[in-house]
Amino acid sequence: MKKTMLSVALLAAATTANAQGGNTGMGGHDGDYKSLAEKVAKLEKKTEAFNLYFNYAASYRLEKNSLNDDATSGFANKQLRIEMKGNLGDHLFYRIRHRLNKADQARTEDNFAKATDIMMVGWKFNDKMTIQAGKLCQIWGGFEFDENPMYIYQYSDMVDNMDNFMAGIVASYKPVPTQELAVEISDANTDKLSDVYGSPAYSVESDGSGKRLLKQANHPLTYIVNWNGSFLGGKLNTRWSWGIQTQAEHKYSRMLVLGQQLNLPRFQWYLDYMGAFDGLDRLGIATAELKPTFGDNVPTYFSDVHYNSFITKANWQFAPQWNLMVKGMYETASVTKIEACKDYRKSYGYMGSLEYYPVKDQDFRIFLAYVGRKFNFSDECKLKDYNTNRVELGFMYRIKAF
């Protein structure tokens, strides 16, 4: 008993010491790092039943928006997530990831808090077949979507506006070790329709019939089919998916994601395409910018909205403990059946960062990053073009505490 209490105390001391020393999605690669408990408390792990991580990132930001003349700056917390996962024997495994800086009120549909990204258990039948259930990150694929959120300086518009942590079930099958097929059925939203869109709420019907009252669907579910492929010894990888989501009665959203990655020892590059075809403006970008209304002071949303995103990113480890990142984005938004709103918006993203890893066996990086965005609107929608610029100096640390 005394030995157990001493081990717990030393583990707590290790975690606290690290937090003081540092002034303290949608996944992510763990890395091969020794835990702080092993280093400081000299404990030897006998099992993989419990692994504890803290994902933390913070920075000092200088920002400017062309719509006003003022530049703003300040310190900001980017990410703060606690993560636990492990294997309980040869078949059973689990994963929990919770955001410590997000609202923890249970939602009306799944009874999970928004702060809880993942709360799942899984069963591995064999090397080919696995099943997972609980609150999961949906299996949309694409390499930006699947990257650990801590490593993202700026998401694309589509991923930034997606709600993708849902209660559901995923089954995956590997016919060969390098190819995986997966299917998922999950909730389409974490809340009831009235909580997401308002009550009453209407959609603008693109067929000229005016507006339609949005009604709760009997089965508001998402269905996704996913393929993850690996070729040439892991040098070429794919993450493709197709899915459909029930948003309201007679209203569906369809999405296609095609992700390709070149993965070399010191250079990694990916190109993603994401396309959303929404019977109801699920992402909400067009509705927020164009503000449809019928003058009755109730929430109104566009129908038949189409979004495209092309995302590319490269990482180059040009020297030991150094990484150079560049990323570009091109995105379009269109209300397809309303002439004045067709192809109303084009947006561009361009960013880069220089990252330094001061400790070789820790996923700890200090970074200097620039993020630029440009938004162009068609003349018909009468919105003003603008651009934003941001410079950040900060750090990221995926702390493997045990």
36/152: higher pLDDT? 152
Nearest to 285 by CA among 112, 156, 103: 156
Residue 318, phi then psi, degrees to nearest 5: -75, -15
Question: pLDDT tens digits for 317-337?
Answer: 999 999 999 999 999 999 988
Percentage of the chain beyond pLDDT 70 is 87
Mean pLDDT of the chain: 87
User: What amino acid occupies position 315?
Assistant: N
pTM: 0.85
Question: pLDDT tens digits for 257-316?
Answer: 999 999 999 999 999 999 999 999 999 999 999 988 766 678 899 999 999 999 999 999
Query: Taking the mean position of all CA atoms in its chain, how far away is CA 66?
Result: 27
Joined tokens for residue 232: 């040439």
When pLDDT is cut at 50, 70 and 90, the band that residue 350 belongs to is very high
Q: What is the average pLDDT across 30-46?
A: 50
Cis bond upstream, residue 200 (ω within 30): yes
> 156 burial class (0-12, 13-18, 19+ CB within 10 angstroms)?
buried
First vs last Cα of the chain: how many Å apart? 20
Residue 202 has pLDDT above 70, yes or no: yes
Q: What is the average pLDDT across 205-225?
A: 86
When pLDDT is cut at 50, 70 and 90, the band that residue 35 belongs to is low
Question: Does residue 197 contact residue 230 with C-beta atoms inside 8 Å?
Answer: no
Ranges of beta strands (E only) in 36-91 are 51-65, 71-88
The predicted structure's pLDDT at residue 45: 62
Cα angle at 252 between 249 and 253, to 5 degrees?
A: 150
- H-type alpha helices, 117-256: 143-146, 157-161, 193-197
